[in-house]
Amino acid sequence: MQSKKRTALMLFAFGLVVMTLLSTPTRSNDIPSALDWRDNGGNFVTAIKDEGSCESCWAFSAAAMTESYYAIQNSLSDPEIDLSEQALISCSGDGSCSTGGDMGEALNYVRDKGLPPEACFPYEGEQNACNLCDDWKSKVTKIPGWSWVDEEQADDEAIKSALMKGPVTAWFHVHSEFEDYTDGVYKCEGDYVGDHFVLLIGWDDSEGAWIAKNNWGTDWGEEGFFKIAYDACGIGQWVAQVKNGDDDDDDDDRGCGCGG
């Protein structure tokens, strides 16, 4: 009789342990130590571009996230999709080449109006009048919605979770030596010179760094890409992600207005 009781108690205790393990939320164990959307079952990052002297980092970052979202949704490795940043600069009313723009408003525009192909309104790098092609409405690519991953408080695990679904836009402080970056992990050691938006495409815990796509041409950095330390330059604040149609859209148009 005692043996049966002990057996019953052991089975009951084992059941409690299993239930506890199943009900405990998983955290970083589900997040890999590294991810790069250039090599994640294919390459889902579009070609490097160059914004030139126009302060249009916000437009390039929003367009790049939309391009990668489209590529991932359609399983298009080495995607050739090329969307018009000039449409955001000249037609959205969100910003300009001299003042920069607001990421929240830019993403609202991509969600509501969409972006036409580059050929419909090629990049001019100037604040010119809106001059979309006649049939632009039939050619646009939209996002179903968007949200801030985090705003004024960086959350690395939340950003990694968002990145597992696709690239995200990210804002950070630019310091004087960033222009001369060639390789390695950028850590913001010079004087502050401005703000910038880029596209985060992954991370590498072994280097303690995010992997990012810039829009300063392929002659800059690591052929247009760079790595930035997790805790550097305010990176991780004001990170935005695409949200699927079954999620609630985020109409919050707050954001970090910045130049390039």
Contacts of 156 by beta carbon, 8 Å cutoff, 6+ apart: 230, 236
131 is annotated as an active-site residue: no
**At what angle are helices 103-112 and 57-73 packed, to 10 degrees?**
40
Q: Tell the residue number behind the tokens 């805790």, with chain if given.
A: 231
Task: Measure the CA–CA gap between 217 and 214, rounded to whole angstroms.
Answer: 8
Question: Is 133 an annotated catalytic residue?
Answer: no
Tell me which of 54, 188, 196, 215 is the catalytic residue. Answer: 196
Given a contact cutoff of 8 angstroms between Cβ atoms, the answer to whether 168 and 199 are in contact is: yes
Active-site option among 214, 215, 256, 258: 214
Known active-site residue 196? yes
Cα gap 156→61, rounded to integer Å = 19
Catalytic residue among 40, 54, 57, 91: 57
Q: Which residues, in sequence order, are bridge partners of residue 204?
A: 34, 209
Residue 159: how many CA atoms within 13 Å on its side-chain side? 30
The answer for residues whose C-beta is within 8 angstroms of residue 27's C-beta and 6 or more apart is 157
- Cα 232 from Cα 38, distance rounded (Å): 23
Backbone angles phi, psi at 65, to 5 degrees: -65, -40
Question: Catalytic residues, which ones?
Answer: 57, 196, 214
